[in-house]
Amino acid sequence: MDRHLGSADAMCFACHPGSVGRRSFFAAGAALLATTVAAPQARAQTAERPATPDAALRALMEGNARYVANQPRERDFSARRASLAQSQHPFAAVLGCADSRVAPELAFDQSPGDLFVVRVAGNFVTADGLGSLEFGAGVLGTRLILVLGHTSCGAVNATVDALRQGNTLPGNIAGLATAMKPGIEPALAQTGGDVTRRALVANVQYNVRRLETSSPILTDLIGRGTLAVKGGIYDLATGRVELL
């Protein structure tokens, strides 16, 4: 979270999302953005960032193409570090899996400060994750949220096995399967194709719908055309992201 968040309302929202209304939230966001873009370096960064949901998605997919081709852009991380210490202006958010083999900044060939990333095993929406994504979109101005699943997802496979065979998962891992059940269970009743693939796709699509409909903050931004929510699958073997 940006250390320049000087508004009491915004700080309150960050700690207690339900404690302020949308009007106060967006007012706090506007104040934050006005403050953080004051420095010339921040203005230069903001000018370069994709300004629309379509442009943000295009930037991600172009970056993924570079990643797949093993032709990433050259970067001098130290040159940008000072400006990022003052503010952040990510253009997209990613709700991804905690899997160590999937690193969004690498998969989309983006630099620090470009992506606002929320990760949990199984890439599903949690209350804390939703609050983070609301902050990213409403205050930091992300134009896109991408729900990113991936092949050979252990959380998805464990949920499928638990639903089909009644497996008892240990500890809090069982809570992951319980949270993912509403998105995955309908896919098990379908026929044709690979059940694991169906479950993987269904889980991503379910969480895209949740983000589109469960948050008044996100729904408002989507209605204004300043935010979009998309889904995709990262292939571990090739590194390619398939949009759903």
What's the pLDDT at 28?
A: 54
The full set of domain ranges for the chain reads: 1-36, 51-243
Rounded Cα distance, 10 and 29, in Å: 7
Give the range among 1-5, 74-78, 182-186 with minimum mean pLDDT: 1-5
Under the banding of pLDDT at 50, 70 and 90, the label for residue 37 is very low
What does residue 112 show for φ and ψ, rounded to 5 degrees? -55, 135
What's the pLDDT at 13?
A: 39
Strands 115-119 and 92-96, bridge-based pairing = parallel
Helix 8-15 vs helix 22-36: angle between axes, to the nearest 10 degrees?
120
- What b-and-e string marks burial along 47-71, b requiring 16 or more CB atoms within 10 Å of the CB? eebbeebeebbebbeebbeebeeee
Closest listed residue to residue 150, CA positions, set 98, 206, 212: 98
Bridge partners of 241?
Answer: 234
What's the pLDDT at 3?
A: 36
119-166: per-residue pLDDT in tens?
999 999 999 999 999 999 999 999 999 999 999 999 999 999 999 988
* Mean pLDDT in residue range 212-228: 97
- 8 A C-beta contact, residue 144 and residue 93: yes
What's the pLDDT at 36?
A: 41
pLDDT of 16 above 80: no
Q: What angle do CA 67, 104, 102 make, to 5 degrees?
A: 90
Mean pLDDT estimate for the chain? 85
Under the banding of pLDDT at 50, 70 and 90, the label for residue 14 is very low
Closest listed residue to residue 145, CA positions, set 202, 64, 226: 226
pLDDT of 32 above 90: no
The tokens describing 130, both together, are 């939703």
Q: Could you count the other beta carbons within 10 Å of the beta carbon of residue 100?
A: 6
Rounded Cα distance, 217 and 90, in Å: 18
Give the range among 119-123, 124-128, 170-174, 224-228 with minimum mean pLDDT: 170-174
Q: Which position has the higher pLDDT, 19 or 137?
A: 137
What's the pLDDT at 157?
A: 95
45-80: per-residue pLDDT in tens?
444 889 999 999 999 999 999 999 999 998 888 878
In the CATH scheme, what is the code of domain 51-243? 3.40.1050.10
Give the range among 51-55, 125-129, 168-172, 235-239 with minimum mean pLDDT: 168-172
Q: Which position has the higher pLDDT, 42 or 185?
A: 185
The tokens describing 188, both together, are 């098990």
Q: Which position has the higher pLDDT, 11 or 25?
A: 25
Under the banding of pLDDT at 50, 70 and 90, the label for residue 38 is very low
